Amino acid sequence: MSQLVSNKISNLEYNDKVYRTIPILHHFNIQSNFPLCPDNMWVVGAVLLTLGSARGLVRLDPLVDAPAGLIRGLRADDGEYSMFLGIPYATVQEDNPFGTSIPQAKLEGVFDAFNDSAICPQVEEFGNTIVGSLDCLHLNIYVPNKATSRNRLPVLVWIYGGGFSIGFANRFLYGPKYLVRHDVILVTLNYRVGPYGFFCLDTPEIPGNQGLKDQVLALRWIKDNIQSFGGDVNKITVMGESAGGASVEYHLLSKNEKLFNQAIMQSGTTFIPGLLEDSGVDKALSIAQKLGYDTEDVAEAVEFLAKTDVKLVIAATSELGLSSRPCVEKEFENVDSMLTDYPINMDIPKAKNMPILVGFNNKERLASYASLPTEQYNLKVFEESLQKKFTYDEDFKEMEDIVRRFYIGDEEITAAVRDNLIDFDSDFDFAYPVQVSLQKYLESGAKDIYYYMFSYSGERNFVKKRLNITMSGAAHADEISYLFDISYEKEAPSEGDQLVIDRMTTLWTNFVKYGDPTPQTSDLLPVKWSPINEETYPYLDIDSELTLGARPYHQRMAFWELFTDINKERLKGYRPN
């Protein structure tokens, strides 16, 4: 085993202070035998706890009788809602941890949903340490106190991003209070990432896309149980960012049953170049070899890896620099598939009559260049980017030159053309793929498609603040901290940031509730956001002010539309009709 693997494994201590942000109140819980109340579905026992001589605390624990079992949650201390944390929705097969998970059996007794610290195996991005276990397929439900059997609330389901290699659903990043105050139920879910979620071995046991199939089981659990929490089973919106946004689109493309009514996709689409990968057979062999098991038989390698500590597998995967992404699956009898063709060849019938909200950030690739020294610029950025999407050979070099001249003229790749390179990378990886998705939704008969661009540069921009980037614009994932309460943000939002929080959460939850982000204008939302159509692509620019525009970056998008059409036969996976 290499020294790097050994070093990573020696630093595996789990940081409870970071990930276990759970109120200590549940330590005072006293069992209650109160009967279920059918009107609001809670078992409520009131316990007066005296803390010191002059201070009292009333503790009300909600208990839900759901088809999945009896589930006890916690009253939140930062708003009028309850939390049900770490509910298991599926289990990983012990003898096939890289395969499809199985639905969770009905819970026995009362399940105390107090702990959201579970995380699937990965090198987490904040401490760069290897964390997690396969007992991670849990979800968290945040329920406003207004939710009852007589007042069912719309449901918003969040799927995190992270390139299908990292990510988790707990309150460290995705605190609910900004969203649930708008009277929607929020659900966040874990799914497997890395090799455990996205090995694609072209076998019935490990066909690929296991992490996406985890999400399917979570969505089925929500569909079957959310009514018991006061949710409206006919008003479920699924929302994701980056890989999470692409996940939402994969669910729309799949042959599985329709499990939600509306979709929100932030900076994520199945048309992101290089998103799909080929068979992972060589990947499995390489990881096994890295861990000391040398074989050319993939079945033997998988059998070895299945018995190997998950943290060793993740460490070896990380050291080898192996990515984890969805794949086009081979079809097998009696095996459910998620994706069996390239999205470019597919219609999206599930999008018919569905309201959809989709967009991107105005400087998606800002973080890739903002602090990069000139000597580290990728001199082959145009060639390597085009190779992700097109079949590339010497004959295609002329096309690369056209792209290069369009963005930087005859200039060398230096800091002098940094802004142009940011535009190229942002357009190629996000802005244009989003436009391709929009066209697919129009062709599929989606009901109303709301298009946005997030441009705000404030003090809470998620990525820019972490990386201390001072350039203007919104980088990839910068919008997250204006939708969620991030636990490590200790300072109260500035007046400008709070306005963006209020506007974004109102727009998004209006869409969840009404299928329309601006059912009426107001001082907070002074403009009417109209959906796109075949002729016009109006969009909402979300900055310090809300403004309406038409076809963002229309000249650059027109260039890519023409370029792609000319080179359609070279698109990877393209199958002529």
Give the per-residue pLDDT at 27: 27
Is 20 a residue whose pLDDT tops 70? no
**For residue range 520-571, what is the model confidence (pLDDT) as tens digits?**
999 999 999 999 999 999 999 999 999 999 999 999 999 999 999 999 999 9
β-bridge pairing 81-88 and 74-75 = antiparallel
Q: Which of 4-13, 61-70, 520-529, 534-543 has the lowest mean pLDDT?
A: 4-13
Tokens of 491: 């300072």
Helices (H), 308-429: 310-319, 366-369, 381-389, 397-408, 418-426
Considering the domain 3-24+66-345 in this protein, what is its CATH number?
A: 3.40.50.1820
Q: Does residue 49 carry a pLDDT above 90?
A: no
What integer is the mean pLDDT of 430-449? 97
User: Which residue among the candidates 242, 324, 426, 457 is catalytic per the annotation?
Assistant: 242
End-to-end CA distance of the chain: 50
534 among known catalytic residues: no
Task: Indicate if the pLDDT at residue 227 is higher than 90.
Answer: yes
Q: What six digits make up the tokens of 288?
A: 């096994």
Active site residue 296: no
pLDDT band at 30 (very low <50, low <70, confident <90, very high): very low
Q: Tokens representing 54? A: 């002059």
Residue extents of the structural domains in the chain: 3-24+66-345, 365-570
Asked whether the predicted pLDDT for residue 39 surpasses 60, the reply is no
For tokens 């963006």, the residue is: 500
CATH architecture designation of domain 365-570? 3-Layer(aba) Sandwich (3.40)
> Measured between alpha carbons, how far is 336 from 209 in angstroms, rounded to an integer?
11
Residue 248 has what pLDDT? 98
Residue 44 has pLDDT above 60, yes or no: no
In this chain, the answer to whether the domains covering 3-24+66-345 and 365-570 adopt an identical fold is yes
pLDDT for residue 143? 98
Give the pLDDT confidence of 344-391 residue by residue, as tens digits: 999 999 999 999 999 999 999 999 999 888 889 999 999 999 999 999
Q: Per mean pLDDT, which range of 68-72, 333-337, 429-433 is the poorest?
A: 333-337
- Taking 3-state DSSP, the helix, strand and coil percentages for the chain, each rounded to the nearest 5, stand at 35, 20, 45
Confidence band, pLDDT 50/70/90 cuts, at residue 478: very high
Taking the C-alpha atoms of residue 153 and residue 388, their distance in angstroms, rounded to an integer, is 43
DSSP label at 162?
S
Poorest-pLDDT segment among 40-54, 93-107, 448-462: 40-54
pLDDT at position 373 is 87
Beta carbons of 163 and 189 less than 8 angstroms apart: no
Q: What is the pLDDT of residue 415?
A: 92
Reported as a pLDDT band with limits 50, 70 and 90, residue 55 is very low
**What pLDDT does 104 receive?**
98
3-state secondary structure of 155: strand
Of the given ranges (53-57, 150-154, 230-234, 265-269), which has the lowest mean pLDDT?
53-57
pLDDT > 70? residue 25: no
Alpha-carbon distance of 69 to 498, in angstroms, equals 39
Helix (H) or strand (E) holding 358: strand 356-361
- The amino acid present at 13, given as its one-letter code, is E
What is the structure's pLDDT at 490?
86
Rounded Cα gap, residues 70 and 469, in angstroms? 47
On whether the CB atoms of residues 495 and 513 are closer than 8 A, the answer is no
Scanning 238-297, the segments in alpha helix (DSSP H) are: 243-253, 281-290
Catalytic residue among 241, 249, 364, 479: 364
- Residue 235, phi-psi category: left (phi > 0), alpha (psi -120 to 50), beta (remainder): beta
- The rounded distance, in Å, linking the Cα atoms of 293 and 303 is 11
The pLDDT of residue 62: 95
Q: For residues 522 and 499, what is the distance between their CA atoms, to the nearest angstrom?
A: 13
pLDDT of residue 278: 81
Residues of 449-464 as b/e, b for ≥16 C-beta within 10 angstroms? bbbbbbbbbbebbbbb
Residues sharing a CB contact under 8 Å with residue 250, sequence separation 6 or more, in sequence order: 209, 212, 270, 326, 338, 339
Residues 6+ apart with CB under 8 A from 179: 142, 156, 186, 483, 484, 505, 508, 509
Helix axis angle, 397-408 to 381-389, nearest 10°: 120
Q: What is the pLDDT of residues 308-331, one digit of tens each?
A: 999 999 999 999 999 999 999 999
382-421 burial, b at 16+ Cβ within 10 Å, e below that, comes to beebbbebbebeeebeebbeebbebbbeeeebeeebbeeb
Distance in angstroms (rounded) separating the CA atoms of residues 258 and 252: 8
Amino acid at 494: S
Query: What is the amino acid identity at position 311?
Result: K
Q: What is the pLDDT of residues 251-260, one digit of tens each?
A: 999 999 999 9
pLDDT the model gives residue 375: 86
